[in-house]
Amino acid sequence: MIKIGIDAFGGDNAPEAVVEGAIAAQGVLGADCRIVLLGDRGSIMEQLSQRGCCAELFDIVHAPERIEMGDHPADSFRTKINSSIVVGFNMLAKGEIDGFASAGSTGAMMVGSMMVAKPLAGVLRPTIAISIPTVKGSKVTILDIGINVDCRPEVLEQYAVIGSVYASEVIGQSSPRVALLNIGEESSKGNAQAKVAYQLMSQAAEQGRYNFVGNVEPSHIFTGDVADVVVCDGFVGNTVLKLTEGFYAINASDGVVTPFWQGLNYEQAGGTPVLGVGAVVTIGHGKSTPEAIKNMILSTLHSVETDLVGKLRERF
């Protein structure tokens, strides 16, 4: 039996959106999987009851404290021991759940990932990634998107490994094309970090570690023509993500509706995996809708089913 924990306190629309998303996810799960709702038991029961949903379909774990978005992540992780996030990580550590997802405090989720799930041996810096639909309908996985804002080239090279494993195992891409985000196509382009990272990735590719296709320019991230995995440091990756969100908002306000921009709707996206740690952890957008929660639960489950952590451990 696979058990996926979901933080009922997580996100701006909790607990309503979380419970509704969990019910939707439960409807498509096999009998070998169960969703564990962590939060205030009374509120969760009430939400289930309001939706005419039988509480027996879920495990409910009473974790009455909430880590707020304004709380200091490390401090609150230490002091709010009955919070849904701390309880979730403790259950992960004990093997009582197989994956944990929350649309709550990103900081607290990262503290739990680093302090409880812990980096895999050999991984310099765990990372967070996002997989976004391209114009072609394929997905492009970008990492890091905001955790490691000062990356040595060696860290970027590891992201190529991590991204390649994620894209092949979880996204299901065969021999995913891994590229370095750079401001030109040629190997001589870029800043000092990118130039060295290019060399390291070329050498790794020669050893058959992954399918390195060279540099991808920012204009081609979303075309699907060049890369399935885009490697960059967290400052640049977060810039790409936030600029994209900015254009999304402008388009939404201007009534622009195309399949491409609809695909970028981050309120529907299934969360951001934390990669390179010893457990399956997913962080959702604070504005997650029920659809986003459902997708986040299913993507977390998929990472468990494909043994993503074991596959990554093998590579380091």
**135 makes contact with a copy of itself (CB under 8 A):** yes
- Which of 172, 188, 280 lies closest to 228 in space, CA to CA? 172
Among 149, 154, 185, 203, binds a copy of itself (CB under 8 A): 149
**Beta carbon of residue 242, minimum distance to a copy of itself (angstroms, whole number):** 4
**250 makes contact with a copy of itself (CB under 8 A):** yes
Task: From 76-84, 122-130, 247-255, 296-304, give the range in contact with a copy of itself by CB under 8 A.
Answer: 247-255
- Residues within window 158-217 making contact with a copy of itself, judged by CB under 8 A: 181, 183, 190-192, 194, 217
The DSSP symbol for 228 reads S
Number of residues that bind a copy of itself (CB under 8 A): 39
**242 makes contact with a copy of itself (CB under 8 A):** yes
**146 makes contact with a copy of itself (CB under 8 A):** yes
Q: 41-50 and 16-26 are packed helices; what angle lies between their axes, rounded to 10 degrees?
A: 60
Q: How far apart are CA 131 and CA 199, in angstroms?
A: 25
Distances (CA, A) of 100 to 23, 80, 121: 16, 18, 21
**235 makes contact with a copy of itself (CB under 8 A):** yes
Distances (CA, A) of 187 to 135, 190, 191, 212: 26, 8, 11, 12
- Which of 225, 3, 294 lies closest to 213 in space, CA to CA? 225
Q: Is the dihedral of CA 5, 78, 272, 302 positive or negative?
A: negative
Cβ count near 185 (within 10 Å): 13
**244 makes contact with a copy of itself (CB under 8 A):** yes
**Beta carbon of residue 184, minimum distance to a copy of itself (angstroms, whole number):** 9
Q: How far apart are CA 57 and CA 34, in angstroms?
A: 8
**266 makes contact with a copy of itself (CB under 8 A):** no
CB closer to a copy of itself, 139 vs 294: 139
CB closer to a copy of itself, 119 vs 218: 218
Among 251, 262, 265, 268, binds a copy of itself (CB under 8 A): 251
Q: Is the dihedral of CA 82, 88, 90, 95 positive or negative?
A: positive
CB closer to a copy of itself, 91 vs 241: 241
Binding site for a copy of itself (CB under 8 A): 135, 146, 149-150, 181, 183, 190-192, 194, 217-223, 233-236, 238-247, 249-251, 253-254, 256, 258, 260
